[in-house]
Amino acid sequence: MITEKQTYLLPLVADLHDTVAGKNFYSSFDLFAGFHQIPIAPEDRHKTAFHHAQWTVPVQRTPMGACSAPSTMTRAMDEVKRTLSFQILIYLDDLIIGSYTEEEHL
């Protein structure tokens, strides 16, 4: 069985820095178990299964360390970002919102 790697590029840190540089107010968020919020398609769960005692346990959520996990997470977060009406910096499951004024930030 061969897993084909996804090729969805992560943003460059330098580009992300430029997005929020010079702002006066910042809020940062780290999504709780970010990778584990993304389900694995039922037909692909056997690819991440592990054996324990007499059982084979299929993994139902994206594990950290899976070869395409970063690409999958970046794609999912880009989809979320497109629905927002404000500028946000996203790198995998870490988010930063930067604003010039307190009013704008709230």
Domain of 18 in residue numbering reads as 13-105
Query: Residue 55 in 3-state DSSP?
Result: strand
pTM: 0.76
| Residue 2 covered by a domain | no
86 found inside a domain: yes
Is position 73 within any domain? Answer: yes
Model pLDDT, residue 2: 60
For the cut 80, the answer to whether the pLDDT of residue 3 exceeds it is no
| Domain presence at residue 3 | no
Give the span between the Cα atoms of 105 and 12, in whole angstroms: 24
Strand duo 50-52 + 55-57: pairing? antiparallel
Q: Is residue 54 part of a domain?
A: yes
User: Could you give the percent of the chain with pLDDT greater than 90?
Assistant: 45
CATH number for the domain including 87? 3.30.70.270
Q: Count up the domains in the chain and report the number.
A: 1
Per the structure block, which two tokens stand in for 9?
């590029």
Domain annotation covers residue 97: yes
Q: Is residue 36 part of a domain?
A: yes
Q: Is 38 exposed, middle or buried (0-12, 13-18, 19+ CB in 10 A)?
A: middle
Name the one residue in this structure whose structure tokens are 């090729």. 7
Q: Residue 60: what pLDDT? A: 94
